Amino acid sequence: MKRTISPLVLAAVLGASSSAVLAQTGNYAERPEGKALLERLQTKDNVDLNAARALLEDARYQPKIVATMRKPAERTLTWADYRPIFLQPERADKGAAYIQEHQALFDAAEAQYGVPANVIAAIIGVETKYGAFIGRDRVLDALATLAFDYPERGAYFTRELEGFIQLCVEESLACDSEIGSYAGAMGLPQFMPSSYRAYAVDGNNNGRRDLWKEPADIINSVANYLAEHDWQRDGEVALPAWLVADNDIARIERSKREPAYRWSALKKLGVRVDLEPADDTDVGLLEFQGADGAEYWVGLNNFFVITTYNHSPLYAMAVYQLGQEIAARQATQAR
């Protein structure tokens, strides 16, 4: 029996094919979601419609970005796997050299924001190895692809794309050529557009914030981000810990992004450190699987501030330990 396709089904198929073609040609300005974004940029954000449309029409669909986002992790990294990626002598050496090269900027940032130079440098080192690798993808393409062709997180990336287009107008960025990560993170500190707009600083007072080429902007922006997320001046980040012999570790909650105890309570559960914080200090017990087995740390406020930059406790510990290695090299240089 000959089958016929109803007009409604045919329209749906043609519509889907049309959307696929539009995606592949990058003509996001003609997609319904693109039109809605353009209207919002014009009416809500006061962005020139022609400038916004030109950017959206220039965006190109990148299927490899969607494939990367959807690729399941082959395995969950342990601290034993993660640490060697970021804790190498070369990276620490470069961090100390970067501070030395821009010492006056780091000193000023630390005085203003209370964030030590070695922590600021460690974040830049973990993120992009001081600019050696800032990503391979055009930020415009990455954000447009994920906003319109990655429905799993389309709403989030649409907001980030909106923020990026606003930035292009506000900061006169070279938005047709700026390179970043496949998720749209930008510059040496890898700020997403929302963080760029909220926390980036014009450190050299030249009227714009450039996180690719201006060390004053890069250094002050990282410090400002951490300060705005309640970094405590002169506060500790993490303390190596151990458990008393008869401790039942299973009954202690592990922390990831926020403290779970006051120190007095955690101490009663059998956790010990060499230099104890005040009893009313908010802390969390961290557990990592290192090369020699389980490692325990007590995370303090500043550790959890770092997890606002990247949610992984592994990331925060890498930043902390790289910062410690950078500080050790600075001390050697000062002798």
Q: Tell me the pLDDT tens digit for each residue of 117-169.
A: 999 999 999 999 999 999 999 999 999 999 999 999 999 999 999 999 999 88
Q: Which of 110, 127, 171, 295 is catalytic?
A: 127
Q: pLDDT value at position 26?
A: 55
Total number of domains constituting the chain:
2
pLDDT band at 73 (very low <50, low <70, confident <90, very high): low
Residue 107 belongs to some domain of the structure:
no
Name the least confident of 67-71, 111-115, 142-146, 286-290: 67-71
Per-residue pLDDT at 10 exceeds 60: no
Do 295 and 327 touch, CB atoms closer than 8 A?
no
Strand order across the 261-262 sheet: 261-262, 282-290, 293-299, 238-243, 271-273
Residue 160 belongs to some domain of the structure:
yes
Considering the domain architecture, whether residues 257 and 174 belong to the same structural domain is answered as: no
C-alpha torsion 132→135→138→143, nearest 10: -140
Return the H-helix or E-strand segment holding 267: helix 263-268
pLDDT band at 247 (very low <50, low <70, confident <90, very high): confident
Considering the domain architecture, whether residues 146 and 67 belong to the same structural domain is answered as: yes
Length of the chain: 335
- Average pLDDT on 222-243 reads 97
Which of 154, 164, 158 minimizes the C-alpha distance to 197?
164
Average pLDDT, the chain: 90
Is 110 tagged catalytic? no
- Average pLDDT on 4-9 reads 34
- Residues contacting 158, CB < 8 A, separation 6+: 33, 37, 147, 148
Domain containing 247 equals 238-299
Burial of 114 (0-12, 13-18, 19+ CB in 10 A): middle
Do 158 and 137 touch, CB atoms closer than 8 A?
no
* Cβ atoms within 10 Å of 23's Cβ, excluding its own: 19
Considering the domain architecture, whether residues 291 and 143 belong to the same structural domain is answered as: no
Map 5-52 to HEC letters. Answer: CCHHHHHHHHHHHHHHHHHHHCCHHHCHHHHHHHHHHHHCCCCCHHHH
Distances (CA, A) of 6 to 2, 3, 15, 17, 197: 13, 10, 14, 16, 49
Q: What are the tens digits of pLDDT across the range 257-280? A: 999 999 999 999 999 999 999 999
Q: pLDDT value at position 249?
A: 84
Per-residue pLDDT at 295 exceeds 60: yes
Residue 85 belongs to some domain of the structure:
no
Burial of 13 (0-12, 13-18, 19+ CB in 10 A): exposed
Considering the domain architecture, whether residues 266 and 162 belong to the same structural domain is answered as: no
Considering the domain architecture, whether residues 139 and 274 belong to the same structural domain is answered as: no
Residue 83 corresponds to which tokens in the numbers above? 């640490």
Considering the domain architecture, whether residues 187 and 263 belong to the same structural domain is answered as: no
Q: What are the tens digits of pLDDT across the range 33-68? A: 999 999 999 999 999 999 999 999 999 999 999 999
Considering the domain architecture, whether residues 64 and 164 belong to the same structural domain is answered as: yes
d(C-alpha 275, C-alpha 4), whole Å: 79
Single out the residue in 199, 230, 251 at which a domain terminates.
Answer: 199
d(C-alpha 239, C-alpha 58), whole Å: 49
pLDDT band at 331 (very low <50, low <70, confident <90, very high): confident
Considering the domain architecture, whether residues 145 and 269 belong to the same structural domain is answered as: no
Which of 95, 326, 111, 134 minimizes the C-alpha distance to 213?
134
Is 0.85 topped by the overall pTM?
yes
